[in-house]
């Protein structure tokens, strides 16, 4: 175990929880409370979310981003239909087929596009190739977008409008994988509503775990999807994800959302990534491969440089595309970045 202050850029999931999260658990640990999400703490978070998203939404809490995505898709995509997503989407690449499991056999169709953003022509072409009403073909039912996406990029509101417009013209449901939603939000500088339901998103997987919580995620049903709540609850139970003492999951999110903590933490992480991205890409032998919109930096490093960084104690992953991935988190400090840049020298 490494202390805060090291050059650990492996993943925001290796970071500890913010102290406010722990305080919230202590606070929630008072006496008896109804089980399975029927407690006042959970109800309070729903109220917070309705205010933050400026609409009358429903929410179900989970404990992993994979669970959130899979549950969301389970109520948006029939077993004999199809989810369209980017070829590098987390739901396609990194969830061991959780969407296929929860939808009971739906297909994920991988689409192309640079910087892990679905190209509109790729979406448009797929929709042409896959009809909705031909009994032999698996019909498209959902468009899933990651915000931040798997290359650390945020779709602009215009890009969302374009893609979602194409999808809605074919009556697809829209899912947003927001494991790093807060990082994208502060990057775009828009409102939560603008980045979701106002853009046509039906269900959002909202993640707090990567940005300061222990294990707290939410599946948010916007008004267009509110009637799917009973099925979502049944699927949550059936998946072993309806925790008996749910208050400890929702309490984390309550603290995370309170007084804009979530946004502050995201700004801290994004700023650290920005400094890392700019500093490191200025070094000889380093080349940025994707724009740095949030808290992730993808950069191609010459072998000598990569070795130098690792020897200095920096932790980062070699990415399948040949780049190195550095992830900043809420607890990344200026000193961490400075140490890395010094080592890159």
Which residues inside 112-141 make contact with a second copy, applying CB under 8 A?
129, 135-138
323 binds a second copy (CB under 8 A): no
25 binds a second copy (CB under 8 A): yes
Residues 98 and 240: their CA atoms lie apart, in Å, by: 14
Exposure class string for 130-151: b at 16+ Cβ within 10 A, else e: beeeeeeebbbbbbbbbbbbbb
What's the min distance (Å) between Cβ of 213 and a second copy? Answer: 8
Positions 180 through 199 that interact with a second copy (CB under 8 A)? none
- Residue 7 or 160 having the CB closest to a second copy: 7
Positions 234 through 273 that interact with a second copy (CB under 8 A)? 234-235, 237-245, 248-249
313 binds a second copy (CB under 8 A): no
Residues 249 and 217: their CA atoms lie apart, in Å, by: 8
Positions 78 through 107 that interact with a second copy (CB under 8 A)? 79-80, 93-98, 100-102, 104-107
Q: Which stretch binds a second copy (CB under 8 A): 49-57, 180-188, 229-237, 259-267?
A: 229-237
Alpha helices in 77-210 (DSSP H): 90-93, 98-102, 120-129, 157-168, 181-188
Which residues are CB-contacts of 267 (< 8 A; sequence separation ≥ 6)? 186
- Residue 21 or 263 having the CB closest to a second copy: 21
312 binds a second copy (CB under 8 A): no
Residues 142 and 224: their CA atoms lie apart, in Å, by: 14
β-pairing, 286-288 with 217-221?
A: unpaired
8 binds a second copy (CB under 8 A): yes
Residues 59 and 225: their CA atoms lie apart, in Å, by: 11
Q: Which of 65, 140, 192, 294 binds a second copy (CB under 8 A)?
A: 65
13 binds a second copy (CB under 8 A): yes
35 binds a second copy (CB under 8 A): yes
- Residue 26 or 114 having the CB closest to a second copy: 26
44 binds a second copy (CB under 8 A): no
Residues 39 and 244: beta-carbon distance below 8 Å: no
């Amino acid at each position: 175990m490494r202390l805060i202050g090291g050059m650990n850029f492996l993943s925001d999931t290796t970071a500890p929880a913010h102290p406010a999260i722990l305080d919230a658990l202590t606070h929630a640990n008072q006496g008896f409370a109804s089980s399975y999400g029927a407690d006042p703490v959970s109800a309070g978070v729903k109220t917070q979310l309705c205010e933050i998203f400026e609409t009358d939404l429903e929410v179900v809490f989970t404990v992993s981003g994979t669970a959130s995505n899979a549950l969301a898709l389970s109520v948006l995509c029939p077993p004999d239909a199809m989810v369209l997503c980017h070829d590098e989407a987390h739901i396609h690449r990194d969830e061991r087929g959780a969407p296929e499991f929860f939808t009971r056999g739906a297909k994920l169709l991988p689409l192309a596009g640079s910087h892990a953003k679905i190209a509109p022509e790729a979406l448009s072409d797929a929709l042409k190739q896959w009809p909705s009403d031909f009994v032999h073909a698996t019909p498209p039912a959902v468009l899933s977008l990651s915000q931040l996406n798997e290359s650390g990029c945020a779709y602009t509101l215009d890009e969302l409008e374009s893609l979602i417009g194409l999808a809605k013209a074919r009556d697809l449901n829209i899912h947003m994988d927001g494991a790093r939603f807060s990082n994208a939000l502060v990057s775009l500088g828009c409102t939560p509503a603008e980045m979701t339901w106002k853009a046509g998103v039906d269900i959002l997987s909202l993640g707090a775990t990567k940005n300061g919580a222990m294990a707290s995620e939410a599946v948010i049903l916007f008004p267009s999807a509110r009637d799917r709540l009973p099925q979502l609850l049944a699927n949550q139970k059936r998946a072993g994800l309806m925790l008996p003492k749910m208050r400890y999951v929702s309490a984390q999110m309550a603290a995370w959302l309170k007084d804009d903590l979530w946004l502050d933490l995201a700004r801290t992480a994004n700023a650290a990534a920005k400094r890392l991205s700019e500093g490191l890409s200025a070094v000889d032998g380093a080349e940025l491969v994707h724009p740095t919109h949030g808290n992730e930096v993808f950069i191609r490093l010459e072998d000598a440089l990569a070795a130098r960084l690792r020897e200095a104690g920096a932790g980062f992953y070699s990415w399948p595309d040949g780049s190195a991935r550095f992830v900043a988190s809420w607890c990344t400090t200026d000193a961490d970045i400075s140490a890395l840049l010094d080592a890159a020298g």
